[in-house]
Chains A and B, each alone.
Chain A
Amino acid sequence: MGVLSWQEAQGSLTAKGEREPRRIVGLGIMSSEIKAPRPMTSLIGLITSQSPRIALRPHSLRRPERGSSRRTQDGAAHSSSSAEKEHFRVTAVAFPAVAMSPSVAELLLQRLERTPPGPEGGLCSLEAATALGLDHQTLVGAVKSLQALGKVIEAETRATTRWELSAEGAEVLRDGSPEVRLFHSVPTEGLLQSDAMKLPGAQVGFSKAMANKWLRLNKGAPGGPRIFRAVDAVQDTVQNSLRQVQEGNGNSLSERERTDLKKRKLLLEVTLKSYWIRKGSAFSTAVVRQETDLTPEMIATGSWRKLPFKAYNFSALGLPPTCGHLHPLLKVRSQLRQIFLEMGFTEMPTDNFVESSFWNFDALFQPQQHPARDQHDTFFLQDPAEAPELPTSYMARVKKVHSQGGYGSQGYKYEWKVEEARKNLLRTHTTSASARALYHLAHQGKFTPVKYFSIDRVFRNESLDATHLAEFHQVEGVVADRGLTLGHLMGILHQFFTKLGISKLRFKPAYNPYTEPSMEVFSYHEGLKKWVEVGNSGVFRPELLLPMGLPESVSVIAWGLSLERPTMIKYGINNIRELVGHRVNLQMIYDSPLCRLDA
């Protein structure tokens, strides 16, 4: 929060993409189905003679990383069932050299040596991979490793597109298109449409066959709509086209045929990125093998003194630690508790979501016809509908001050009903807890000054939108002492909000049923360029304090705000439903930074 950090919070929203770490994108297959490029891990493994292993890591981490072997544990922990596959991406990882057989890089260099020198001579990485019987990704790893060694090789990227069958396409190639299959399922006497639709692939097949005018539909047939063959025989052009693609002649299809098949999700356009590799100015087949990292053996034998080490890629990110995370709203709650404690405030008990109307309203001098006591605003209870116990003699004093006045007050002059006071509800504010605490204070014997606070849930029967939920957290501070003034309230509010990072305040006269004078607290929002309300405050009315039994000389000043609002500002969240409740994205919790309010 705070004026400065409000801006920051806003900034981080808009510039979110830029804050993401730089990504080292490796070469890989870009399927047409994947819209955004997937970041790839940087490959800094050594030229190795061992075939690389495939490790899985969570896609969501979306960060390149420095470590390599460290990832094996992670990889082993996850299996690759189809349900999980979308959560993980496949990353090729090279491992340190130990074995004696020639490494992929060495094999590649040997092949490269046989190519003629000059700009014309070179190798295609795809062809080389096929020739070596390797996965293309493995070869790419070797290219990257060699590139890292300096000018041993030169490699430029090339992109080629080709057509492949999707899983569904492969099925059609095998069994025929749905329209042909449906056509063949229709006997000469026709088929009930409802039965036809139960056949596999019938939905698509029916619409295509109808479009091709292969079938006709008799809606008025006895027994329900019935379909009949409209032609004697059909050609499976779809299957034929797919066969051509399968045989590598995808380019011979017309643009329109391909688009149609693509629309039917039978065909995939695959962009293949490859390298054109040439000898570099420092070409040699005898590449010095660099070590990835220190090993216990190197330390024991001292061999590290003579070994060359592979350079680290410091622009990649590290491996995120496995850990739990605290919820951002509750991080702000902890900081607010801390602020109150720093200011000498004692925490009030708030452990009753269920409250009687008496404590929630009547004790706070809120008349029984007040709109807040309407069904539209408050959750009343069906069970337990009424509070079994109310403080009898105190209640009599409350009744009197409402209906007749007293303690210097005219009262509201209406017929106060105990039935209304008994009605149970879900507390609409924690001020009900403050009322209980003050009542308790009044009954502890000799008055001693107190500073109280609470932060807990409250409930409103409101229409939900981007800034309103049926439940939220209220933050409340209360000071009871002799001789407190409105200036004291403003002074303590200034201290409190300064600790929250908000120091530019102004106060607006307001109306609360239980405070007089009442003030809304406004703070200048640099981002919005206007004054926004950040809290509500006031001096508790004598009609509230005196029936409790507090001495007449005691004033009680209090203020309240919601916990959600400063949290949304602090963490740049615009919709409260993205912050609270079960629908929040856990990634938001994982990624939320420390809560430093005054920073």
Chain B
Amino acid sequence: MPTVSVKRDLLFQALGRSYTDEEFNDLCFEFGLELDEVTSEKDIISKEKGEEKAEGASETVLYKIDVPANRYDLLCLEGLVRGLQVFKERINLPRYEKIIPAKDEGQKLIITEETVKIRPHAVAAVLRNITFTKERYDSFIDLQEKLHQNICRRRALVAIGTHDLDTISGPFTFTAKAPSEIKFKPLNQSQEYTASQIMDLYRTDSHLRHYLHLIENKPRYPVIFDSNGVVLSMPPIINGDHSKISLNTRNVFIECTGTDMTKAKIVLDIIVAMFSEYCEKQFTVEAVEVTYPNGKTHIYPELAYRKDKVKPELINKKLGISETPSSLAKLLTRMCLNSHVIGNGNNIEIEIPPTRADVIHACDIVEDAAIAYGYNNIQMVIPKTYTIANQLPLNKLTELLRLDLAAAGFTEALTFALCSMEDIADKLGMDVSATNAVHIANPKTAEFQVARTTLLPGLLKTIAANRKMPLPLKLFEISDIVVKDPTKDVGAKNYRRLCAIYYNKSPGFEIIHGLLDRVMQLLEVPPNEENGYTIKATEAEPEAETYWLPVQHGVHYTATMKSSAFFPGRCAEIFVRGQSVGKLGVLHPDVITKFELTMPCSALEINIEPFV
């Protein structure tokens, strides 16, 4: 959720009244915003860098306001104020107007063929006779940054460039050139660099280095020139210094280039709608003609108003309220959706302004009616939906077994489903390729390399973290492991496992064995070979090899633990009705040592799915 930081006093001045923090918080809550923090520049610096550095910083009160991720129209002070004032019926939503200059008098942007493979889209507009102040200018820059971080997906989808139109002369050309052929003075630099040098220059820049990868490996970089060959910008990295805007800039040329046309249009509409407020002719924008490589032309910004019709009873029915059509229309108008009743009160016509690109379906309109009505004014009703509850059989069995395992004296652990490759392989004396594990592509740390294929490492790590506890330690966990399974739609499957462990001065195999007997008793599986369970000594296994057990009751399951984890001669495989369901035994001293333990330990791990 984007956070917009605004100066409190400036906000209240624009709203025409002041609020206590609590009052403003309530207003935000009602409107779907969140007053996240009341702070000041000084506070922020002192928190981040220490009090000394904050010395002399501004103590102006700042409101940090969380804005819903789809409301690009609320990402700056101008938009927030406009939204809240319309919501409070203090102003009417202004109408944004596109002024198309007479033929050959307007600005032109020509897109060449070369951009197609790298950044094919571009739109542009001009704000004429704008008056910047320090605050307006800062807000203008901030909004671009907020848009870049959110809808523009860190400039991958759209990058914005704003220029002082009086320093450049159209028509402008958006093309792509080899890095060595691009040379200009980047914004706030003192000398010219080639594009390749620019990339090197910004490799260590805390801000810009994040965007370099977007074009770095392309043979050609996108670039916009004016008719004299002056570089406006090299999107999505940096603008030229030549055309940079200042507080004195009167005419602003705005270009948005990108890989997503829809978003480029939205971004341009938002910027011009927000800042046309400061133009001599308020809320007007001068259009720019964009020429595509195929010769076709189009006028931007779109600033399109879309009309939609929604039946009043649909709104009432979806919300559980009963408002008249005209009152619903009024509610919607308060949400910047100018609405009126048509067709004898049977329909409401809604005009969706260019700033509300988030409204794409009637359900969005319904939500806005609900916000204006006040969520907390809606009558709560218990649905009459009559249903009979059912538990998932596997979870039901798990719940029952948990209780009886605790009654048998074992304590329940809850360990992570993600772990390192080492945990499931090296430490258990096997090769990772034999685990059939699911591998994570982008782990932040080695703790999240794979999904666990056995519950044993988690329990051993739990004991390692609790070595100071009195012995014996008796732990269990019933939870899921994950293995690759090409027969599944996602190529992997969970299995519900039961793992128990006994850690003491003696291995206590008989205790773990006793627990197995108890579990089988609970599951009504008698100790015999034909229709019950048996345990059989495992042979020393050949080098790590994955084996798939045959399908039973439509369920695949792999061997639970490799016997490499066990002390030779102290490991048995558990068979239920001839089917292997797991293993039990005394852990191998190497395994104990690798998990930083010192005592003998016996363990049991079975798949419980066959018992559902």
Tell whether, in the assembled complex, residue A508 and residue B32 are in contact, meaning their CB atoms are under 8 Å apart. yes
Do B388 and A344 touch (CB < 8 A)?
yes
Q: Which of A361-381 contact B (CB under 8 A)?
A: 369, 371, 375, 379-381
Contact of A492 among B156, B383, B443, B462 (CB under 8 A): B383
Query: Which of B261, B389, B465: most chain A CB closer than 10 A?
Result: B389
Cα–Cα distance between A7 and B325 once the two chains are bound (Å): 46
Known: A485-B320, A487-B380. A384 touches B388 (CB 8 A): no
Interface string of A312-337 (1 = CB under 8 A from B): 00000000001111110110001001
* Contact yes or no, B484 A334, CB < 8 A: no
For the complex, count residues of B whose C-beta is within 8 A of A.
Answer: 106
Residues of B within 8 A of A494 (CB): 380
Interchain CB contact under 8 A, A488 and B262: no
Residue of B nearest to A83 (CB): B598
Whether a CB of chain B sits under 8 angstroms from the CB of A451 is yes
CB of A337 within 8 A of CB of B386, answer no
Cβ < 8 Å to A, chain B residues 446-479: 447-448, 451, 458-459, 461-462, 464-466, 468-471, 473-476
Q: Is the CB of A380 within 8 A of B442?
A: yes
Contact A351 B491 (CB under 8 A): no
- Asked whether B380 lies within 8 Å of A582 as measured between CB atoms, the reply is no
Is there a chain A Cβ closer than 8 Å to B405's Cβ? yes
Beta-carbon contact of A382 and B262 below 8 Å: no
Say yes or no: A324-B410 contact (C-beta < 8 A), given A384-B438, A511-B71, A519-B375: yes
Decide if B505 touches A516 in the complex (CB within 8 Å): no
Query: How far does the alpha carbon of A516 sit from the alpha carbon of B494 in the complex, in Å?
Result: 32
Chain A contacts with B in 199-236, Cβ cutoff 8 A: none
Q: Which residues of A contact B394 (CB under 8 A)?
A: 351
**Residues in B whose Cβ lies below 8 Å from that of A507:** 375-376
Of residues 374 through 415 on chain B, the ones whose CB sits less than 8 Å from some CB of chain A are 375-376, 378-383, 385-392, 394-395, 399, 402-403, 405-415
**Is the C-beta of A60 less than 8 angstroms from some C-beta in chain B?**
yes
CB of B371 closer than 8 Å to a CB of A? yes
* Chain B minimum-CB-distance residue to A322: B409
Known A-B contacts A387-B491, A481-B385, A491-B381; the reply to A486 vs B410 at CB < 8 A is no
Q: Write the nearest CB–CB distance from A582 to chain B, whole angstroms.
A: 4
B469, A78: Cβ atoms under 8 Å? no
Minimum Cβ distance to chain A for residue B296 (Å): 19
Which A residue sits closest to B266, measured CB to CB?
Answer: A413
Q: Which of B100-108, B341-349, B362-370 contacts A (4 or more CB under 8 A)?
A: B362-370
Q: Which residues of B contact A580 (CB under 8 A)?
A: 414, 416
B493–A352 touching, CB < 8 Å: yes
Q: Which of B157, B412, B489 contacts A388 (CB 8 A)?
A: B489
| Contact of B41 with A by CB under 8 A | no
Q: CB-nearest residue of chain B relative to A488? A: B383
Report the Cα distance A410→B356, complex, angstroms. Answer: 13
**In the assembly, what is the distance between CA of A346 and CA of B390, in Å?**
4
Which residues of chain A are near B34, meaning CB under 8 Å? Answer: 508
Contact residues, A469-501 vs B (CB, 8 A): 469-471, 479, 481, 483-488, 490-492, 494-495
State the Cβ distance, A363 to closest chain B Cβ, in Å. 12
B contact residues around A345 at 8 Å (CB): 387, 389
The CA-CA distance from A405 to B386 in the complex, in Å, is 34
Instruction: From the candidates B376, B391, B418, name the one contacting A341 in the complex (CB within 8 A).
Output: B391
Q: Tell me, rounded to whole Å, the shortest Cβ–Cβ distance linking B491 to chain A.
A: 3
Contact yes or no, A487 B389, CB < 8 A: no
Contact with A516, one of B31, B321, B364, B390 (Cβ below 8 angstroms): B364
In the complex, A327→B364 CA distance in Å? 43
CB pair B383 A479 closer than 8 Å: yes
Which of A14-22, A33-41, A84-92, A237-245 lines the interface with chain B?
A84-92
Q: How far is the CA of A492 from the CA of B381 in the complex (A)?
A: 7
Q: Give B99 Cβ to nearest chain A Cβ, in Å.
A: 26
Interface size on A, residues (CB 8 A): 114
**Is A471 touching B417 in the complex (CB atoms < 8 A)?**
yes
**A-B interface pairs (CB < 8 A), number:** 320
In the docked arrangement, what's the CA distance between A340 and B387, Å? 12
Residue of A nearest to B393 (CB): A347
B480 close to A (CB within 8 Å): yes
Q: For the complex, is B444 an interface residue (Cβ under 8 Å from A)?
A: yes
Cβ-defined contact, B376 with A424, below 8 A: no
CB < 8 Å: which of B1, B362, B405, B413 contacts A582?
B413
Give every chain A residue within 8 A of B462 (Cβ-Cβ): 582, 584, 586
- Identify which of A175-183, A257-265, A275-283, A535-543 touches chain B: A535-543
B482 interface residue per 8 A CB criterion: yes
Residue of A nearest to B486 (CB): A388
B458: nearest chain-A partner, CB-CB: A582
Tell me if B551 is interfacial: C-beta within 8 Å of chain A: no
Taking a contact as CB atoms under 8 Å apart, the answer to whether A517 and B440 are in contact is no
Q: Which of B156, B385, B399 contacts A451 (CB 8 A)?
A: B385
Contact B414 A506 (CB under 8 A): no
Pick the residue among A337, A381, A486 that contacts B438 (CB under 8 A).
A381
A85 to B150, CA, bound (A): 59
- B70 interface contact, C-beta 8 A: yes
Closest to A495 in B: B382
Least Cβ distance of B466 to chain A in Å? 5
- Provide the residues of chain A in CB contact with B262, threshold 8 Å: 412-414
Chain A residues contacting B459 (CB-CB under 8 Å) are 582
Q: Top 8 nearest A-B pairs by Cβ distance?
A: A487-B320, A509-B32, A485-B320, A384-B491, A511-B68, A517-B367, A582-B461, A58-B470
Q: Give me the interface of B with A, judged by CB distance under 8 Å.
A: 1, 29-32, 34, 68-71, 150, 153, 156-157, 260-263, 317-321, 360-364, 366-367, 370-371, 375-376, 378-383, 385-392, 394-395, 399, 402-403, 405-418, 438-444, 447-448, 451, 458-459, 461-462, 464-466, 468-471, 473-476, 480, 482, 484, 486, 488-494, 496, 505, 598
Interchain residue pairs with CB less than 8 A apart (16): A81-B505, A84-B471, A84-B505, A351-B394, A351-B493, A369-B153, A379-B443, A450-B385, A491-B381, A541-B361, A542-B361, A582-B462, A583-B461, A584-B462, A584-B465, A589-B411
